[in-house]
Structure 1
């Protein structure tokens, strides 16, 4: 058994709640732009004073509509300014926010709103409103539904026009640090989602220590962050609260469809995302260079960046020759990549899955360090992360200051600290199982090195045991294979089988370019090319690269290219882009069988 901890850098208030943040900002930084929203395609900044006024106005409407202290209020929307506005308004009305992913089915909506006992719900679109309405018969506690796209915020402001600011502030002060702030339902890779109760203390401990440890990334008046991940997910919520706690300028956009344009217009100093975002930026830049006949230059620049970053970890540092090559490519290639990322950023935060050492070194080598972290809904997002000044690529960093990470005898990662969830809502049995002996049992397998850096090697429940008795952790090889530009997702299979196999999906965006470069018919798809020898040879190269990271017994012997990608809509990945392995195993049973019978 091994454990590691760091002293707290932030003193969690003995009492109080998250609404203190917006009032404090208005007092200390009244004219600082703390949040930005899109108006007619352009960014409009709101000062701390203006944001507080809008939060109060929306909170008055909730109060006037009968929302009481401790009531649960659903919030079903994409990432946008109004999400954060309503989050703080719900807290200011003394209530508890219950996020609902905007891609949720009516059945999932009914479960979350029903299990939490939500008395009201804020939705974004007519489609969301229709989904809620379709299950409203099973939600006896639900009294109100407001729709953002139908003027829901203005409707709330009119309803509460007769209440005073003092009435809101009195209500805001009722919740204590140990009262629930939100009930976040887990993505549900297996079974029904469980509601994680996160208190105001959880967020103070989490966000306060993140801001303190990553201080250069959270300089008030200088720094900014663009949030495009779902705020319904706890990772997005961490950024929302931390940005306002600092405070730094926070922008919110609903997706990554036009990410390059959004980065160029907002120009954040910090970006956060999941590994797939950073993989796509790299792959798109490489494909563009190849299309312009500059592929060899890009590859040399990438190799130089990786070598430069690796040399930074050695006692002697980069050689003179490497420094000169790095300086040359900084002008020719790296500067253009910085422009794609907004032009002002030096850091990014990545979570949700491993980034991979190659990409980690590449980004640090171009002067844009991607700091990997690790956490769960139950740990209020990051329970470990790489510090800005002591990054150790290939790990998820050191424990959150003020918390403890322990590795049990069987390799499971255990957690302890004020940032942890309070309980599972309405589920005492699950709470007792997860919070045993004062430690949260994550279900993840990991190691701690001598400096307290954590590496995650797999999930206890995802360990594959082949027919020969070999234990295989899928994450290592999957991450390597997924690093290829053509690969969207990879899922290793082989439990109880004679060898390890894999299901592979093709990145549809990159496939278009690849098909054109290799003389394939226009309009070719993954379905039409899944047996194409050239495509299979390219995927085999990705598999070979993945196999190089593991032992022969753990390597992928055969794979199948699937005709379509895994998506939220297909039910094969969660909104936080995690594979629903059980669903994939069931839906693609024939494809898996083909691996072992052909």
Structure 2
């Protein structure tokens, strides 16, 4: 398993070591809004410049009274200021509490209050306003620090990030050794991060992750890279470029952040999802992590562009996809294409796949998928096109990085092998149990909840059902989401839903339902962009989204995909009826989490009447 013991005492210690090693090298790049120009400009920070900014902010926090393990909340999308603020909190000895920018004011209040945060960073006027509106409910919050915007005006409760940095710079001039003293005081068992689970059901739980958790993750990633290099594979090195758009409020984004501190690669930071495609051409990353929904959107776009090119072009595209799938399956089994298949793949690459790789900037080594299941068909589509998606697995409670597929040993439908230093076993009821350096120390302010999932000897019960196949872990479903029909048959809905999205590029979500019911039905949410393109190509361009959901031609198109899905399923898993929803699932309506996981119970409760109707004699639709 290698040596996953970290040589550092804390994340700040690892950060300063990286600065000492790479000082003048580029650490980050990030966009600067250019109101007068047609294209955004990108600014860069070296490791030394990053250290200087972090030092001033950390000392500013110290002057505000932030001491060992004091919580500081961050309510912001992913941007360079998020990273600087987080590092500053840790270097001051404090712990970061993460808040999604999409959180409602009551949710912000709950997290700030439950965590005991004394300082909060807020991205802009909108985030500041949420906190100001709930100020009376957060008596322990002494200061709000705004990344941008008008801040507090005459309200001294709110200050700007620049004002905080200026305070810290003045303190540094008086006490030049104070920053290093604060960093030296941080120990491995000190709380580093308090992440509130996005909560597919119920109130979110605060997960306590200490410095040792993150040091393990960084060291494990480095150890994995060393193992792969010995096998002839290059995973990550100091010359790589990461494109980081993942929400840093989510554990997946955080683990990519701390890995950079250990390995030293450059990171381009921009959390705007609508800029991903444009940024890829600018950043030209060598690797990027994302949720499966992003890969689904890219896949859908490629399919739609091929269809828009006419029947002949689409036939060539489908032929190329078939060739790529055969190549992907050959490589999954440890072989390489040869003979006629190799010649066909070379032609398919020239006609189709090369342009897809160019979309990602032309120098991509791999992609990492996590947070939700990746459709094996979509994984193989990219693999056959020369783009390797390494699907992984982890939870907030395991610091994210727990399993991952390896280059040269990719098995789609699985989440790969354990990370170095992680142990796994399958309980009698099929639940996946994990033990290792990434496992949390416990839940925050929840008496008894930790003991329910974490044994005295360190085994964490994930709540996921899975099987081990030659060491590779296959997650079959969430333990609480398994469907048992009234006939006593078990159905794992996630696999069906994932497979369907590869069959129908016009759908954003499928919700399979059937617990204690005689058969399975489904709710279908359309992808607004993709269905708009389909409508224009099918003489329905004048209809809006709601109108398209009621259009018989749309239902026929979805029905064809459902029929194709059902042909691959056992009888008890087939979708007998479906309804098309009038709206896509959204974070704002509480139907999906900010990390793009579906809140199944919330969706079922909202559309309970519609679901009940599909078990009556007459099929009902909206």
Using the size of structure 1 for normalisation, the TM-score is 0.96
Query: Match for residue 3 of structure 1?
Result: none
Residues 5-44 of structure 1 aligned to structure 2 (within 5 Å): 7-13=1-7, 16-40=9-33, 41-44=40-43
C-alpha distance in 2 between matches for 1:315 and 1:379 = 30
C-alpha distance in 1 between matches for 2:420 and 2:181 = 33
C-alpha distance in 1 between matches for 2:530 and 2:485 = 33
Residues 135-146 of structure 1 aligned to structure 2 (within 5 Å): 135-146=134-145
Query: Match for residue 164 of structure 2?
Result: 156
Query: Match for residue 471 of structure 1?
Result: 490
2:584 pairs with 1:562: no
- Secondary structure in 2 aligned to 1:161? helix
- Cα deviations across residues 257-278 of structure 1 (Å, max 9, x unaligned)? 1211111111100021111111
Query: Match for residue 223 of structure 1?
Result: 240
Contact 1:94–1:171 (Cα < 8 Å) also in 2: yes
1:185/1:314 CA distance change after superposition, 3 Å? closer
C-alpha distance in 2 between matches for 1:8 and 1:146 = 42
1:549/1:424 CA distance change after superposition, 3 Å? farther
Residues 411-490 of structure 1 aligned to structure 2 (within 5 Å): 411-437=430-456, 438-450=458-470, 452-483=471-502, 484-490=504-510
2:570 pairs with 1:551: yes
Contact 1:35–1:249 (Cα < 8 Å) also in 2: yes
1:9/1:35 CA distance change after superposition, 3 Å? farther
- Secondary structure in 1 aligned to 2:274? coil
2:521 pairs with 1:501: yes
Contact 1:244–1:250 (Cα < 8 Å) also in 2: no
Residues 35-434 of structure 1 aligned to structure 2 (within 5 Å): 35-40=28-33, 41-150=40-149, 152-164=160-172, 165-214=176-225, 216-220=234-238, 222-293=239-310, 294-314=313-333, 317-434=336-453
Using the size of structure 2 for normalisation, the TM-score is 0.92
1:57/1:398 CA distance change after superposition, 3 Å? same
Contact 1:269–1:346 (Cα < 8 Å) also in 2: yes
Contact 2:403–2:418 (Cα < 8 Å) also in 1: yes
- Secondary structure in 2 aligned to 1:515? helix
Deviation at 1:584, TM superposition (A): 0.8
C-alpha distance in 2 between matches for 1:49 and 1:316 = 46
1:361/1:9 CA distance change after superposition, 3 Å? farther
Query: Match for residue 510 of structure 1?
Result: 530
2:549 pairs with 1:530: yes
1:125/1:315 CA distance change after superposition, 3 Å? closer
Deviation at 1:529, TM superposition (A): 2.4
Deviation at 1:16, TM superposition (A): 1.1
Cα RMSD for the two superposed structures: 1.4
C-alpha distance in 2 between matches for 1:439 and 1:547 = 38
Deviation at 1:551, TM superposition (A): 1.1
**Which blocks of at least 5 consecutive residues in structure 1 are unaligned?**
1-6
- Cα deviations across residues 477-529 of structure 1 (Å, max 9, x unaligned)? 1111122201100111111111101111000000111001111142432x212
Deviation at 1:9, TM superposition (A): 4.3
C-alpha distance in 1 between matches for 2:356 and 2:541 = 31
Q: Which shows bigger deviation, 427-436 or 90-99?
A: 427-436
1:211/1:389 CA distance change after superposition, 3 Å? farther
Contact 1:477–1:547 (Cα < 8 Å) also in 2: no
Deviation at 1:582, TM superposition (A): 1.5
Contact 2:223–2:420 (Cα < 8 Å) also in 1: no
Contact 1:466–1:496 (Cα < 8 Å) also in 2: yes
C-alpha distance in 2 between matches for 1:273 and 1:444 = 21
How many pairs does the alignment contain? 588
Contact 2:252–2:400 (Cα < 8 Å) also in 1: yes
Deviation at 1:315, TM superposition (A): 6.1
C-alpha distance in 2 between matches for 1:307 and 1:453 = 22
C-alpha distance in 2 between matches for 1:35 and 1:495 = 48
Of structures 1 and 2, the one with the larger relative CO (CA 8 A, separation 6+) is: 1
- Cα deviations across residues 225-263 of structure 1 (Å, max 9, x unaligned)? 111111100001111111222110111112221211111
1:316/1:57 CA distance change after superposition, 3 Å? closer
Contact 1:380–1:421 (Cα < 8 Å) also in 2: yes
Contact 1:43–1:266 (Cα < 8 Å) also in 2: no
C-alpha distance in 1 between matches for 2:274 and 2:599 = 23
Contact 2:28–2:268 (Cα < 8 Å) also in 1: yes
